[in-house]
Amino acid sequence: MRNLKAELQRALEQALALLGVEESVDVPVQPTPPDRPGDYGTPVAFSLARVLRRPPAEIAQELAARVCLPPGVVGAEAAGGYVNFTVGLGELVRAATEPLRPPAPVGRRVLVEHTSVNPNKELHVGHLRNIALGDALSRILRYAGYEVQVLNYIDDTGRQVAETLFAVERYGLRYDGVTKYDHWVGQAYVRLHREMEDPRLREELEAGVRAVLHRLEAGELRSAVERVLRAQLDTMWRLGAEYDALVWESDLVREGLLQQALALLEHTPYVQRPREGKYAGALVMDTSSFVQGLEDPYLVLVRSDGTATYPAKDIAFQFWKMGLLQGLGFRPFTRQPSGRLLYTSHPEGDRSVRFGGCEETINVIDATQSYPQRVVRTALAVAGRPDLAEGAHHLAYETVTLEGRRISGRRGHTVSVDEVLDEAHRRARAVVAEKNPEHPDPESAAEQVGIGAVRFAMVKTEPRRQIDFRWEQALSFDGDSGPYVQYAHARAASILRRAEEAGVLTEEPDFAQATEYERPVARALLDFPDVVAAAAAQRTPHVLAQYLLDLAAAWNAYYNARRPDGSPATPVLQAPPGLRGVRLALVRQVRDVLRTGLELLGVPAPEVM
């Protein structure tokens, strides 16, 4: 697809040289608003006013006169301090219908860690946002030319896992084979927490949990944890999320990576073991040189009793991710639904199978973990690698509430992801039956639409804004929803199928016949490469989600356009030869861009709805 914005930027840079501008100047080129003349514009004259000591309007006038226009750009005019460019209609549509080409490799490795759910119970609706954001961002980065590793961290030595396994043992439970396994153990977990509310039993229960914790740390219960994990993976795969590797916390500890990280930090002047005071005997890190404004800048890495804190484990994992530490062997775990091989760390794994060692990382963790993530970045700087600290990113997102209430797995106040997906399928099936009773495969369509509705709801909002998950809003098939975009895609696919049946699908376009009705859709299509680049640079999928909504709206407006007499203004198959070829090319590009964009968000793109 031709990049008109980049061509205009280069033309403007050459014009600036003619004006005597020698220093480097940012030359933004943006689509013009609908109520302004032209297709693209630049405000560069405003930033040049101080350099050239001339009014922006005067600079804009001279730029418009001096700029050498790229082929197909038919006019440049000054509008106040802006320079606006008009692209010839035929060339605009031609450029918009050129085949999509993914960007060239950028030569950077990025590690994305997401999901990382405790393997102790079923996934709840709050986990949906993490998975949807992490999986979509991984797809976007890979499309944008990055070499991406996707990791799922398995905390198999944590208290929550110990509580679940202890509960199953305490109550003498035997799996019934009917309930999904992670739901079954989750019921035991909730039951134990209700019993823990009795102060008379608390000491006995705590002793039992500690005993299981010791067994987990010794690696004795890995198979029991793995059984829960495999049930959880079934849910993740149903959502369309896949991974490159599972990294188990017990393997990090067993390989001595925690000790290596602590030893590396102890050789710096910022980490010490005080002999007196409240931190006596503990290993602490002084963060005051790197994090300003903290009331207490000292972070405990190892308690005085010798046990490591959670931040210490996070730091060790981050050091491994970014290549400061070596170790861990991997071996195949299973084949995922796409056929992609999933690896897992393992004591007997192959050390030549390499993960980690990336110069950039993105940890998808909710916003309540912002301070621990800040600590992780600080530790990289403390270790003498501020460059790696700059490359350690936290995709922070606000939590998901359930019908206005906070989610609590311990109290059982939650809706599982499996329940959400089942309900989404049920509702989507009813809509498919209503809208298309002759659908050739209604069950498959319902699954695609249901998954799409849920995933799109989790990524369409800026991550820092809280989502209140409500059935009616999340599964709505109108407005700013996944099904709205899916239906726009299916509508384009339907036209192309009918064109093939009529034998006109490959008709040559005559771009000289393009009409002004095509211009808004063509302009929207040309934005796609820049939108993907922006989503990758900002590390957030919502940029792409909002673009797809806008493109779907432009396409629907085009499809439904009417002339003053009320007749259809944009018929495709009934258009005259040549113009029909133009519109078929435009419809094909709409379908391809919507499909590609939906796939980057992990949302299915059904051909029929």
pLDDT, tens only, 421-474: 999 999 999 989 998 999 999 999 999 999 999 999 999 999 999 988 777 776
Query: Is 454 in contact with 128 (CB distance < 8 Å)?
Result: yes
DSSP structure class, residue 251: H
Query: Is 347 in contact with 251 (CB distance < 8 Å)?
Result: yes
Q: Is the pLDDT of residue 329 over 60?
A: yes
Give the pLDDT confidence score for residue 24 in this predicted structure.
Answer: 85
pLDDT, average across residues 491-516: 98
Which option is the CATH number for 4-87: 3.50.50.60, 1.10.260.40, 3.30.1360.70, 1.10.1060.10?
3.30.1360.70
pLDDT per residue over 301-317, tens digit each?
999 998 889 899 999 99
Nearest to 517 by CA among 605, 442, 450, 579: 579
Q: Is the pLDDT of residue 413 over 80?
A: no
pLDDT per residue over 143-155, tens digit each?
999 999 999 999 9
Radius of gyration over every alpha carbon of the chain, rounded to an integer in angstroms: 28
pLDDT, average across residues 105-132: 95
Q: For strands 360-366 and 400-402, give the pairing.
A: unpaired
Domain 426-600 belongs in CATH node 1.20.950.20: no
Domain ranges within the chain, ordered by starting residue = 4-87, 426-600
Average pLDDT, the chain: 94
pLDDT, average across residues 7-35: 92
How far, in Å, are 117, 126, 539 from residue 466 at the CA level?
20, 11, 18
Residues 6+ positions from 581 with CB-CB distance below 8 Å:
507, 508, 509, 510
Q: Is the pLDDT of residue 526 over 70?
A: yes
Q: If you search the block for the tokens 């919507």, which residue do you land on?
A: 594
Confidence of residue 407 (pLDDT cuts 50, 70, 90): low
The rounded distance, in Å, linking the Cα atoms of 73 and 482 is 35
Inter-axis angle of helices 579-600 and 482-501, nearest 10: 140
**Is 96 exposed, middle or buried (CB count within 10 Å of its CB: 0-12, 13-18, 19+)?**
buried
The rounded distance, in Å, linking the Cα atoms of 497 and 142 is 30
The rounded distance, in Å, linking the Cα atoms of 210 and 415 is 29
Q: Which of 50-64, 421-435, 579-593 ranks highest by mean pLDDT?
A: 579-593
**Helices (DSSP H) in 239-279: which residue ranges?**
249-254, 257-266
